[in-house]
Structure 1
Amino acid sequence: MITGLNAASAYSAARTAVAPQPGAQPLARIGQAAEDFAAQMAQVDQVSTGAMTGQVSTHQLVQTIAEAELTMNTVVAIRDKVVEAYQEILRMPV
């Protein structure tokens, strides 16, 4: 059962995990995330080509595709939140 004390301690622990790092540049983090996404998609291409030529096992192909699917779902969720925030800003009265 979740109590108020458990919830408060979980919140405190989670707060430090998502706190911005001192001196971190938000745009640099976004750029790094985009580079990581591109690298993940490039890896999927390499593994897919390797599976077609018989150099990569089917198990590795399925695992790489599952990782790529998770990455793609994360990127789509972030994009949806950004679009939603933009639309909310447009609805604000001036």
Structure 2
Amino acid sequence: MSAPFTSATSAYASAARLISEQASGRATGVGAEAPGGDFAQMLSQQLSNVVETGRASDQVGLDMINGQANIVDVVTALAETEATMETMVTVRDRVISAYEEIMRMPI
């Protein structure tokens, strides 16, 4: 039963590593930031939010297994994680769609 928890922990660690690598790469980048903010930074923050929401959901699940939480807390945490993931998937799909549209434009 520890395999799913190990897999989840590994996935969170990988995501956190990617976020920190991206953040360190942006810190040494050249160029001025846009007045409205950096799109890559916004995506990085949202990805961090997804990771943290998943960690919180896992912790509530572990608390329930240990008898320290009730089923309503687990369902609520899972619903929040699902909503956050769906938002990121939607953003990803729209970015890919925009990229494909740009690639179809004549030069």
Structure 1 residue 36: Cα displacement: 1.1
Q: Quote the residue 2:83 is aligned against.
A: 70
| Number of equivalenced pairs | 74
Aligned to 1:36: 49
Per-residue deviation, residues 20-58 of structure 1 (Å, max 9, x unmatched): xx5633332222111111101111111111112211111
CA distance in structure 2 between the partners assigned to 1:23 and 1:69 by the alignment: 28
TM (norm. structure 1) is 0.69
> 1:4-83 counterparts in 2 under 5 A?
22=35, 24-83=37-96
Paired letter, 2:61: S
Structure 1 unaligned blocks of 5 or more: 1-21
TM-score (norm. length: structure 2): 0.61
Q: Considering only CA atoms, is the larger Rg found in Structure 1 or Structure 2?
A: 1
Ranges in structure 2 where 5+ consecutive residues have no aligned partner = 1-34
Moved beyond 6 Å, runs of 4+: none
